[in-house]
Amino acid sequence: MTYDIRRLKKNEWDMAMQLAWDTFLVYEAPDYNSEGIKNFHEFVKGDELKNMFMLGEYYTLGAFDENDVIVGILGIRKHWHISLLFVEPALHHQGIATGLLKRAFSDAAEEGIKEMTVFSAPFAIEFYHKLGFTDLDDEKTADGIRYTPMKIELF
């Protein structure tokens, strides 16, 4: 199946963040303490990120199926730092996350960006390594969120 990968429209934000939250609960929340779960919830459901998106300050892609239902989300903060990458759990291993990242890599390269960074959740480390990301440091924990800082050089 092919998916349409495009920038999110403003009216799709809540649906995209619900996908991120629901997927987080399945794959990441079991590895987080209550502080981390609470902070992630505030990140995707609070006003700060949403306001940045509405003002055009938060680059966000969605992958949509043939019925125009969102099945994947990629969010990037300033300086091309990936802050969200989630795919509907039933659709993992179908190339959706890779497709989202390749589109972002292409868009970044067009702007002259040489590298992108991510704070990978434990669940996603292997995925990022397969795409060419390298660890910048050992796993860290901040505000209850576990992550490994990584980067990729874009060509």
DSSP state of 56: T
pLDDT tens-digit map of 64-86: 999 999 999 999 998 899 999 99
- 76 and 60 in contact (C-beta within 8 Å)? yes
Per-residue model confidence (pLDDT) at position 67: 93
Confidence tier at 29 by pLDDT (50, 70, 90) = very high
Residue 137 CA: distances (Å) to CA of 125, 144, 145, 152:
12, 18, 15, 14
Q: Does position 126 have pLDDT exceeding 90, yes or no?
A: yes
Domain 4-153 matching CATH 2.170.150.70: the answer reads no
Q: Which of 35, 21, 27, 45 is nearest to 145 (CA)?
A: 35
